[in-house]
């Protein structure tokens, strides 16, 4: 039997090389499995010797610490991925996650913004300033394409075709896809491009969204500006992923088929996209309860 270090090293190599996961995704797995390793050490064990009751104990401790259901669900998913891989590769003979139950609330539906809230958010940047023009173009592009924050950060001038109304982005595993953009995003991108040149001054950059120092906008920068604009618009907890959820939900609610939304989001599995049909189902039920006289 492999020791713990060997098992984890082989699994992370598998995630990077064979599954082609992005750096940030692999880091997420590493963080969650580091929690598992610490729990095993507290029990005087290594990961490969843990049983189902040990994992239940780890989950119970996370609940007692008040960790979010989504955090616990991600931890369970990381553990399940590791043990399934180990059994499949005959590195272990049993999978302690096989009968591990998760609470339904751990699979909670993603939140999303209404079109009116998106409009309120997008209206916050000051279009009399170059940074305001950048931020309006950023928000419009994120909502128009549903791109992940890492994809937006990596967006280059050569990836945007305003005449055709499409952008090229590289998702998880560096998979390339083309996503259409609408007239509002095109309009504000066109208004931003001269402002971008002023932000760059004598410097150059291949990236679309840049700072006053001519550097690419960072993940922290996007989170910070969305939080600030959300506060001004009276909307709490705005995140880049919330705009992605809002993009998908708006498409489904307006009749888009699941396969098309899957392709635009860059989901490898249509089951991942399926959650947005549950969102619209819930929306329909709420409308029914409010408006039907015999609901």
159-163, 215-219, 268-272: the lowest-pLDDT one: 268-272
Taking residues 160-177, report their average pLDDT.
Answer: 90
**Alpha-helix runs per DSSP H in 51-129:** 52-64, 69-88, 115-122
Q: Following DSSP, what letter does each residue of 161-189 receive, concatenated?
A: ETTTTEEEEE-GGG-EEEEE--HHHHHHH
> Which H/E stretch holds residue 175?
none
39 is catalytic: no
Q: Which residues contact 39 (CB under 8 A, 6 or more apart)?
A: 54, 57, 58, 61
Query: Quick one: pLDDT at residue 79?
Result: 95
pLDDT in tens, 133-144: 999 999 999 999
Half-sphere exposure of 15 (CA within 13 A, CB side): 22
Q: Name which residue leads in pLDDT, 279 or 184.
A: 184
Does residue 107 carry a pLDDT above 70? no
Q: Pick the catalytic residue: 136, 148, 196, 245?
A: 148
Give catalytic status of residue 148 as yes or no: yes
Residue 286 pLDDT greater than 70, yes or no: no
What pTM was estimated for this model as a whole?
A: 0.62
90 catalytic residue (yes or no) = no
Helix (H, G, I), strand (E, B) or coil at 160: strand
* pLDDT of the residue at 280: 58
- The burial class, CB within 10 Å (0-12 / 13-18 / 19+), for 282 is exposed
**4-106 shares its CATH topology with 116-238:** no
Q: Which of 52, 156, 172, 177 is catalytic?
A: 172
Predicted local distance difference test score (pLDDT) of residue 229: 97
Average pLDDT over residues 213-238: 93
**pLDDT value of position 167:** 94
Q: Which of 4-18, 158-172, 213-227, 270-284 has the lowest mean pLDDT?
A: 270-284
Percent above pLDDT 90 for the chain: 58
Q: 31 pLDDT exceeds 90?
A: yes
pLDDT at position 295, please? 43
Q: How many percent of the chain have pLDDT more than 70?
A: 89
Annotated domain spans of the chain: 4-106, 116-238
CATH topology of domain 4-106: DNA polymerase; domain 1 (1.10.150)
Q: What is the pLDDT of residue 175?
A: 86
Q: Is-catalytic flag, 237?
A: no
Mean pLDDT on 22-35: 92
Q: Which CATH number fits domain 116-238: 3.40.50.2300, 3.30.700.30, 3.30.750.24, 1.10.443.10?
A: 1.10.443.10
Q: What band does 108 get if pLDDT is binned at 50, 70 and 90?
A: low
Rounded CA gap, 182 and 285, in Å?
30
Is 276 among the catalytic positions? Answer: yes
Give the pLDDT of residue 253. 81
pLDDT at 179 over 60: yes
């Amino acid at each position: 039997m492999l020791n713990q270090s060997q098992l984890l090293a082989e699994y992370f190599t598998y995630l990077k090389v064979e599954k082609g996961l992005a750096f940030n995704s692999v880091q997420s797995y590493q963080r969650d499995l580091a929690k598992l390793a610490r729990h095993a050490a507290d029990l005087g064990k290594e990961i490969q010797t843990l049983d189902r009751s040990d994992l239940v104990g780890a989950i119970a401790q996370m609940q007692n610490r008040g960790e979010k259901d989504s955090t616990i669900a991600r931890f369970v998913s990381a553990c399940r991925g590791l043990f399934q891989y180990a059994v499949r590769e005959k590195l272990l003979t049993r999978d302690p996650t096989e009968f591990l139950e998760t609470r339904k609330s751990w699979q909670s539906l993603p939140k999303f913004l209404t079109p009116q809230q998106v409009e309120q958010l997008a209206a916050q940047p000051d279009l009399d300033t170059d940074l305001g023009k950048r931020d309006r173009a950023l928000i419009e592009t994120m909502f128009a394409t549903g791109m992940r924050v890492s994809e937006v950060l990596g967006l280059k001038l050569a990836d945007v075709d305003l005449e055709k109304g499409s952008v090229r982005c590289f998702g998880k595993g560096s998979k390339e896809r083309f996503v259409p953009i609408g007239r509002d995003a095109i309009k504000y991108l066109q208004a931003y491009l001269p402002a971008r040149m002023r932000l760059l001054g004598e410097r150059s950059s291949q990236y679309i969204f840049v700072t006053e120092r001519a550097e690419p906008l960072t993940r922290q920068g996007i989170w910070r500006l969305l939080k600030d604009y959300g506060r001004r618009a009276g909307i709490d907890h705005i995140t880049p992923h919330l705009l992605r959820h809002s993009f998908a939900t708006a498409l489904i609610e307006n009749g888009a088929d699941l396969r098309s939304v899957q392709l635009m989001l860059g989901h490898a599995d249509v089951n991942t996209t399926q959650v947005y049909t549950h969102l619209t189902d819930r929306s329909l039920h709420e409308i029914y309860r409010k408006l039907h006289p015999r609901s």
